[in-house]
Amino acid sequence: MVTLLFKLRKLCSGVFALLAFMTAPGASAQVWRSAGLTGGDVRALAIDPRDPKIVYLGTTDGHVFASSDAGESWKRRGLIGKDSNAVVTALIIDPRNSAWMYGSTWTREAGGEGGGVFISLDGGASWRESGLGSHAVRALAQAASNPDTIVAGALDGIFVSYDRGENWSRTTPEGDPELRNFDSLAIDPENANILYAGTFHLPWKTEDGGKHWSPIHDGMIDDSDVLSLAIDATDSQRIFASACSGIYRSNAAGASWEKIEGIPYSSRRTLVIRQDPAQARVLYAGTTEGLWKSGDDGGNWKRISSADWVINAMVLEPMSNRTGQYTDSNHGSRLLLGTEQHGIVVSDDGGATFHVANDGFYHRRVLSVATDTQDARRVVAVLANAPEPVVVSNDGGTTWVSMDKGLGTERVQSIFALRSSWWATMASGGLFHYDEERRAWLRTGTFWASPPPSKSSSTGDGKQTVRPVVNDVYASEAGWFAATEQGLFSSQDQGRTWSSLRFSAADLPVQSVRASRDAGTLRIASSNGMVFSDDGGRSWSWHDLPLESGGTLKLQWTDQTTLVAEARTGLYVSRDGGTTWNKAGAGLPGARVEQLLLSPGLWLVSIQSAGESGGLYASRDEGLSWSRIKSTGVNESVGSATEFPVLAATRTPGRIFAGSTIDGLYMLELDRVLNAGANRTPQIRMADGGGH
């Protein structure tokens, strides 16, 4: 049985990469530190052919990480493309010059699909487009016999460059109904003119560099999406192809195929197939249901990993001896897997055991964070691309454990800490409550809505039960309130039952809600506007931001006179209870607000922007002036374009958790007294220390 060594406690343990948040001279330093949560989605892997200890990985959002210790630890290297919307489909390191790299990308854009081929001359730190910018490139290959020849397989055809990617020519007829939607490539190691290409439908071959193409699918099930192609290193006539219908082998250079049995139908979507360079008869197949291994050229297969692994990429390294020298080994090669959710998984014994190797690979997407209202060391995070979607730390973010028992297939949207207990809003609607005794989540809360007069009721008192999607929850001493897609609800029994609190003729969606301690004053954001009540919800009045705001997204307050509205074009502040509104002070860009955190002496706001103005901003004077928290010189830990749309305060003064779109969770520790240097731009810099 496989020994799986990546329990989340180890996956997310330790504190890494301290960062300092500096203000004016003489002021005490503020620090950032990673709260663990390593790992993420990996889509591409490449090994330096000149130095097998150097490994690169590509992500689903254009980032490239590098390892100098055979894939055990990682540092961010660079970003392919202009922003974080490109899937890295392949990475290639030139065998003649390790600093020269190629990367292909695929993007989904408003007008269709794009991407391209990019070149790096500095080991992946910087990238430039090579000329296929309008093409969604799903596969990339370099000819072993002529490394100047680069072939790109795109959704709209095959393109070839004979000058290291500087110029490209189409080799397939434009608009051909069959020669399109290419997913895989393989070039004959001895003849660069012989090329195999797999499409969403079936495989093709050319023997003259692309002047003529022939279908090669004799023996394959029709409509097989050929996801991966591999040429046997010992016999170029033997080709392996993985498809959605199974794995195939050809002993006649693709002229005919035989289907290899042994992998069950549910696992046949094989995304990558590789031959062990140290043991030619050993094959590995990375599927959407785990890793499979064959020791007899594909005659028989056995799954050697957990079935819940989705394996997108795979490379095999020569094993090293105790002196650190790499050599072929009778025990096979070191196996590196690039997976969804689990990050990098490694085996040094042919798949008998595995361990994660995500040290320094911070690439989780944080959806929500909440901190315990009584215990500053307890924090819960919701993750989008992790095997455990909800995790909890009881030591301030040093170690994490899974907290998803009871959720089943339900997807959590947000976490709230209400009266020392955890509550979760669900994508399917309604609320879950965490039962500490059972250590499990339970669906909680019955929502009663008063239907319009035209609708019949399921009860005698004119009410019906609903399960609305909850956008916000707020607890005051006099009652709890829920802002939902089906209106505003209130609870008098701490969330067990909820009743509709009508503020309009129709139950309009409500994005946020705030209430005074006695629940007499209510402020909500709904339908791009604000609705106020000063009598506990018996009567309501509508209010609007200035027209140029684009409408209200959410509404918060520091007290009943100072209100802050998140809008599409920035942040707006009212200091007279909502009568007049002004755009937030100097230094804050006019862009969509992701999230706002109001703490005594410090306001933090996350701005959504595709340009340099996006990111996290701080104000020490209640919104009169703002400074951007820059990330300078820390590309190995926090990317320069990192955004933090999730913010949560703790009971410890000046301690904030910031969840990023790509880099996991960080803790920001600030001084309580921040007046000195209020107009200085805060900086983030690396500090020594730490390690997993």
Among 87-101, 627-641, 664-678, the minimum mean pLDDT is found in 627-641
Judged against a pLDDT cut of 70, whether residue 639 lies above it is answered with no
Give the 3-state DSSP-derived string for 1-70, with helices as H, strands as E and coil as C.
CCEECCCHHHHCCCEEEEEEEECCCCCCCEEEEECCCCEECCCEEEECCCCCCCEEEECCCCEEEEECCC
Tokens for 157, please give them: 């055809």
* pLDDT in the model for residue 615: 79
Minimal CA–CA distance to 403: which of 354, 376, 370? 370
Determine the 3-state secondary structure of 548 from DSSP.
helix
Judged against a pLDDT cut of 50, whether residue 680 lies above it is answered with no
How open is the CA angle 528-531-532, to the nearest 5 degrees?
155
Tens digit of pLDDT for each residue in 113-171?
889 999 999 999 999 999 898 899 999 999 999 999 999 999 999 999 999 999 999 99
- Percent of the chain past pLDDT 90, that is, above it, reads 64
Tens digit of pLDDT for each residue in 189-207?
999 999 999 999 999 999 9
Q: b or e along 319-346 (b: 16 or more beta carbons within 10 Å of the residue's beta carbon)?
A: bbeeeeebeeeeebbbbbbbbbbbbbbb
Q: Is the separation of the CB atoms in 78 and 59 below 8 Å?
A: no
Tens digit of pLDDT for each residue in 350-401?
999 999 999 999 899 899 999 988 887 899 999 998 899 999 999 888 889 9
* pLDDT in the model for residue 450: 73
pTM of the predicted protein model: 0.83
Q: Does an H or E element contain 363, and which?
A: strand 362-363
Among 6-20, 521-535, 645-659, the minimum mean pLDDT is found in 6-20
Half-sphere exposure of 509 (CA within 13 A, CB side): 11
Tokens for 40, please give them: 């993420």
Q: Is the separation of the CB atoms in 295 and 281 below 8 Å?
A: yes
* pLDDT in the model for residue 451: 61
Kindly write down the DSSP assignment for every residue of 375-432, as one continuous string: -TT-EEEEESSSSSSEEEESSTTSS-EE--TTTTT--EEEEEEETTEEEEEETTSSEE
- Percent of the chain past pLDDT 70, that is, above it, reads 85
Q: Kindly indicate the confidence band of residue 673, based on its pLDDT and cuts at 50, 70 and 90.
A: very low
| Across 629-645, average pLDDT | 55
What is the residue-averaged pLDDT of the chain? 85
* pLDDT in the model for residue 133: 84
* pLDDT in the model for residue 642: 67
Neighbours of 287 (CB within 10 A): 26
* pLDDT in the model for residue 611: 60
Judged against a pLDDT cut of 60, whether residue 477 lies above it is answered with yes
Tens digit of pLDDT for each residue in 71-109?
999 999 999 987 778 899 999 999 999 999 999 999 877
Tell me the C-alpha distance between 598 and 584, whole Å. 13
Tell me the C-alpha distance between 105 and 59, whole Å. 10
